[in-house]
Amino acid sequence: MFVIFGASGKVGRVSAASLRNAGHAVRAVVRNEAQGEQLARMGCEIALADLTNPASVARAIEGADAVQILCPVPMGDAQPGSTMRRMIEVAADALRANPPPHVLALSDYGAELDEGSGITLLFHVLEKQLQAAVQNLTLLRAAEHMQNWARVIPVALATGKLPSLHHPLSKRFPTVAAQDVGQLAADLLPGEPRGIVSIEGLRRVAALDVARALSNASGREISAHEVPRNEWPAMLLRAGLGADHAQLIIDLYDTHNAGRIDVEEGVGERRFGTTEFAEVTASMLPDNAAVVN
């Protein structure tokens, strides 16, 4: 039995589908029944769990041959860092008490950094807690997901300007398609633990490239706009984030722009996805925004 936490997400859904297509039994762990409907149609067993609830997490991993664990940054939480740390503690305790033959944890580029990296620092905590809790561990570190740009596409289409916290606009950085992460996780999960495995796309991109891809996909002129550093807090608060969540993002991009969020050279295995940024960009457009040929 392969247990997939976050199975309704962009990564977990691909992992679950790939494992099912290969004939494996999959237990898809989701927060509510609605999230499990499509997964149930794939033939997955559905388990409901709250990642802050030890009993529900313990039930979800019972009888597992392998577990794919995800501790997401909780949206809409007044203190997302504290809540995610609680999720990590619960997951580590459950896996320590009932260790499966293989645990694969979804992590981030830069997770080796132990201070000042905002959201990425939480993945450092995840890695350290799981390394102390279980022996049979794979840490799958992914570059920034290409799909993250979906958050600002509506603004770009409405204004012709793509806001970017990546400075300068010409700076190239690693990204990866979420589906490539999910597929690699599914490929690794049935095998032996691999330590640290890192994945990014075939080509690094800059904010200028993202704007160009969006222009090509939408048929509209879109230019990249470097959001001034002093405007970040107000912009993030206007987007609906709480002050604590906004600060996690600010700290992350400060670290990113300093060139410190990247693959950890010489550590573990390095893999590359196959999905191009242009393909992901086109898939993120609203139905009425794509170029009509």
Q: For 61-188, where are the alpha helices, taking DSSP H only?
A: 80-97, 119-133, 153-159, 178-188
- Find the mean pLDDT for residues 23-38: 96
* Average pLDDT in the chain: 95
pLDDT at 228 over 50: yes
pLDDT at 28: 98
pLDDT single digits (tens) 128-182: 999 999 999 999 999 999 999 999 999 999 999 999 999 999 999 999 999 999 9
122 and 80 Cβ atoms separated by less than 8 Å: no
* DSSP string of 156-184, one letter each residue: HHHHSEEEE-SSSTT--B-EE-HHHHHHH
Whether the Cβ atoms of residue 157 and residue 259 lie closer than 8 Å to each other: no
pLDDT at position 292 is 41
pLDDT of 293 higher than 60: no
> Residue 49 has what DSSP assignment?
-
Q: Got the DSSP string for 235-287?
A: HHHHTT--HHHHHHHHHHHHHHHTT--S--TTSSEEEE----HHHHHHHHS-T
Q: Who has greater pLDDT, 293 or 166?
A: 166
CA of residue 71 relative to chain centroid, distance: 10
Q: Distance (Å, rounded) from C-alpha 102 to C-alpha 95?
A: 10
pLDDT at 156: 96
- Collapsed DSSP state (helix, strand, coil) of residue 22: coil
288 pLDDT higher than 70: no
Q: Which fold has domain 2-147+176-200+261-273?
A: Rossmann fold (3.40.50)
Phi and psi, residue 224, nearest 5°:
-80, 140
Q: Where are the beta strands (DSSP E) in 201-241?
A: 223-226
Give 185: exposed, middle or buried? Use CB within 10 Å, 0-12, 13-18, 19+: buried
Of the pLDDT bands very low, low, confident and very high (cuts 50, 70, 90), residue 75 is confident
The share of the chain scoring above pLDDT 90, in percent, equals: 95
3-state class of 81 per DSSP? helix
Phi, psi torsion values for 203, nearest 5 degrees: -130, 135
Specify the pLDDT at position 290. 54
CB burial readout 249-261, b (16+ within 10 A) else e: bbbbbbbbbeeeb
What does the pLDDT read at residue 289?
Answer: 58
Residue spans of the domains in the chain: they are 2-147+176-200+261-273
Question: From CA 227, how far away is CA 8, in angstroms rounded?
Answer: 32
Per-residue exposure over 39-60, b if at least 16 CB sit within 10 Å of its own CB, e if not: beeeebebbebebeeeebbbeb
Can you tell me whether residue 195 is helix, strand or coil?
strand
- What does the block give as tokens for 34? 């609605």
